[in-house]
C-alpha cells in the first residue's frame, strides 16, 4: 500500500499516545486521524473515538466506518489479547487492506509472559538475570533457587499485572512467603506462574526498536525513566514520573553492545520462532558495570519515555510506521534532534495510592518553551480539561543539557494548576555526573 494520505487509528489514552498523536499529526502524509479513546489533549491532534482498545469489534467497526489504513497500538493489553489476529482475519475476509503497528499474540508474549520472555532470552543467548519459573508443582525447587541467590530477591508474576507484579524483597523468609502468596493468586491468574530472578544492580535505561518482521529495524533515541514517587528515587513505584532522552551514559560504545548482543539476537530469535513481529520492542535494560542486560521486554513504547522521545525525532514518523507495518523498513531511517529532552510528569495528590478525579486544570497549557502532553485528563461538559487519572499531564522541554531542559519543564508545570498537583523536581539529577 502506498497511498499519498493515510487514515490512521491510534489506540490508547495516556501521555504516550498524546505524544505519538502530536508527532503523527504533523505528518504531511496524515489523512484522517483518530485516537481511541484518547484524552482531553489528543482531540487537538485528531478525533477522539469513545472506544476501548480491548473491544476488538468496536475497533474493527471504527476501521471500517473511517476507512482506516493504519492502526497503531499504544498499549500492550489489546496486543497480548490478540488484536492483530482479530483485525487481520476480519480485514482479510472483507478484502480490506489494513496495516498495523503492534505484534500479534505470539510476539506480544514477550511482555505478556515473563516466563516466555526469560525462556526466549535463555534460548537465544540474550544477556539477562538468572531465573527459575515456579508453579505450584515445583515450589521446593523455587525455595532451593532462592537459597542459591543473594538478597534482595526478585519475584515476578508471569502475566500482566498492571505494573504491580514485580516484588523486590530483602529477606529470604519473606520471599518464600511471597512466592506462596503469589502462586495462591495474589495477582489473580497473572501469578499462577512466578519467575524468580537474580537481582541486578546498575543504572536502567529504555531502548526502543521499531521492526518490520523481516529483520530490518530502526533504533529510536534511548531514554531513562523515573519510577518512584519521591525525589531521590524514594517511595512507591508509579507508572513513571519523568524521563530524560538521551541518558548520557548510553554512549556509542554501550549502544553498539546493545545492538550486537541484544537487538540482533532478539530479532533473530523472533525469526527463528516464526514470529512476524511488526511494531515496537521496548528493551528495559540495566547497565551492570558497562554491560547491558535485559530486565524486561515490552511490546510498545514506554510512558513517560515516549513524551521525551517523540520530540527528539526530527523527521516524519508516519512513513516509518507505515513501512514497519508493511515489512519494508529497509533503507529507512529517522533523523534526531541533537538537543536533550526532559519530561516531567504532574500527578494527582495521593497517587500512586488513592486519589480524587475531576479536578479542574487551569493555567497555561501551551507554554512557548515546552510541550504539554495530556495523560489522565478528560473534557468536562464545558469542554475544559479535568483530571481523570493518577498521572495527569507532562511537560517536555529541550535543552543543551539535562539541567537546562529540566528547569524549563519545571517552569512550565509551575504555570499549570489543579488541586493536589505534585511533580518531582529531580528528574535527571542522577545523570549529571555522566554529562
Tell me which residues touch ligand GLY (CB under 6 A).
225, 240, 298, 302-303, 305
Binding to ligand AMP (CB under 6 A) within 92-131 occurs at 129
**Residue with nearest beta carbon to ligand GLY:** 302
Residue closer to ligand AMP, measured from CB, 298 or 340: 298
Q: 151, 174 in Cβ contact below 8 A? A: no
Q: Residue ranges of the alpha helices (H) in 273-401?
A: 305-309, 318-325
Given the C-alpha cell 537546562, which residue does it identify? 404
Residue closer to ligand AMP, measured from CB, 31 or 284: 284
Residue closer to ligand AMP, measured from CB, 200 or 327: 200
Strand extents, DSSP E, 70-216:
70-73, 99-101, 131-134, 153-157, 166-169, 194-197, 203-212
CA 294 to chain centre: 15
* Residue 303 interacts with, from ligand AMP, ligand GLY, none (CB under 5-8 Å by kind): ligand GLY
* Residue 225 interacts with, from ligand GLY, ligand AMP, none (CB under 5-8 Å by kind): ligand GLY
Write the DSSP symbol of residue 90.
H
* Under rule CB under 6 A, residue 203 binds ligand AMP: no
Q: 139, 170 in Cβ contact below 8 A? A: no
CA angle 65, 68, 74 (to 5 degrees): 115
* Residue 393 C-beta: closest distance to ligand GLY, Å: 16
Query: Please, what is the angle between helix 56-65 and helix 83-93, to 10°?
Result: 40
* Under rule CB under 6 A, residue 296 binds ligand AMP: yes
Select from 200, 203, 219, 327 the one that contacts ligand AMP (CB under 6 A).
200
Q: Which of 65, 353, 305 is nearest to 206 (CA)?
A: 305
* Under rule CB under 6 A, residue 199 binds ligand AMP: yes
H-helix or E-strand containing 297?
Answer: strand 291-298
Residue closer to ligand GLY, measured from CB, 72 or 99: 72
* Residue 91 C-beta: closest distance to ligand GLY, Å: 29
* Residue 298 C-beta: closest distance to ligand GLY, Å: 6
The order of strands in the sheet holding 291-298 is 217-219, 203-212, 278-288, 291-298
* Under rule CB under 6 A, residue 154 binds ligand AMP: yes
* Residue 76 interacts with, from ligand AMP, ligand GLY, none (CB under 5-8 Å by kind): none
Residues near ligand AMP (CB under 6 A) are: 129, 154, 156, 166, 197, 199-200, 204, 284, 295-296
Amino acid at each position: 500500500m502506498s497511498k499519498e494520505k493515510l487514515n490512521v487509528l491510534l489506540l490508547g489514552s495516556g501521555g504516550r499516545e498524546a505524544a505519538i498523536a502530536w508527532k503523527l499529526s504533523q505528518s504531511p502524509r496524515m489523512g484522517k486521524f483518530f485516537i481511541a479513546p484518547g484524552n482531553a489533549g489528543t482531540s487537538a491532534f485528531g478525533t477522539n473515538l469513545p472506544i476501548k482498545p480491548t473491544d476488538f469489534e468496536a475497533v474493527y467497526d471504527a476501521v471500517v466506518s473511517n476507512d482506516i489504513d493504519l492502526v497503531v497500538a499504544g498499549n500492550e493489553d489489546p496486543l497480548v489479547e490478540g488484536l492483530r489476529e482479530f483485525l487481520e482475519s476480519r480485514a482479510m475476509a472483507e478484502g480490506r487492506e489494513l496495516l498495523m503497528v503492534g505484534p500479534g499474540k505470539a510476539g506480544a508474549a514477550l511482555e505478556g509472559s515473563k516466563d516466555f520472555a526469560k525462556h526466549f532470552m535463555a534460548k537465544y543467548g540474550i544477556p539477562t538475570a538468572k531465573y527459575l519459573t515456579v508453579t505450584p508443582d515445583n515450589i521446593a525447587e523455587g525455595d532451593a533457587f532462592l537459597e542459591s541467590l543473594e538478597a534482595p530477591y526478585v519475584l515476578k508474576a508471569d502475566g500482566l499485572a498492571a505494573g504491580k507484579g514485580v516484588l523486590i524483597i530483602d529477606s529470604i523468609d519473606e520471599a518464600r512467603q511471597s512466592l506462596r502468596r503469589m502462586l495462591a493468586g495474589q495477582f489473580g491468574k497473572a501469578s499462577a506462574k512466578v519467575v524468580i530472578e537474580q537481582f541486578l544492580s546498575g543504572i536502567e535505561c529504555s531502548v526502543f526498536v521499531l521492526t518490520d518482521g523481516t529483520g530490518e529495524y530502526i533504533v529510536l533515541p534511548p531514554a531513562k525513566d523515573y519510577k518512584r514517587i519521591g525525589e531521590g528515587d524514594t517511595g512507591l513505584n508509579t507508572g513513571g514520573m519523568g524521563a530524560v532522552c538521551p541518558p548520557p551514559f548510553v554512549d556509542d560504545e554501550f549502544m553498539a553492545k546493545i545492538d550486537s548482543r541484544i537487538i540482533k539476537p532478539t530479532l533473530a530469535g523472533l525469526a527463528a520462532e516464526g514470529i512476524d513481529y511488526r511494531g515496537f520492542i521496548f528493551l528495559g535494560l540495566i547497565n551492570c558495570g558497562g554491560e547491558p542486560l535485559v530486565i524486561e521486554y515490552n511490546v510498545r513504547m514506554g510512558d513517560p519515555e515516549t513524551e521525551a522521545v517523540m520530540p527528539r525525532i526530527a523527521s516524519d514518523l508516519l512513513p516509518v510506521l507505515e513501512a514497519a507495518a508493511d515489512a519494508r523498513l529497509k533503507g529507512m531511517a529517522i533523523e534526531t534532534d541533537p538537543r536533550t529532552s526532559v519530561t516531567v510528569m504532574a500527578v494527582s495528590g495521593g497517587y500512586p495510592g488513592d486519589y480524587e478525579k475531576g479536578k479542574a486544570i487551569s493555567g497555561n497549557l501551551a507554554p512557548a518553551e515546552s510541550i504539554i502532553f495530556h495523560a489522565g485528563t478528560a473534557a468536562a461538559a464545558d469542554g475544559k480539561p479535568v483530571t481523570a487519572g493518577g498521572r495527569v499531564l507532562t511537560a517536555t522541554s529541550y535543552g543543551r543539557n539535562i539541567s537546562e531542559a529540566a528547569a524549563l519543564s519545571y517552569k512550565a508545570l509551575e504555570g499549570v494548576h489543579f488541586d493536589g498537583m505534585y511533580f518531582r523536581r529531580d528528574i535527571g539529577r542522577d545523570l549529571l555526573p555522566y554529562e
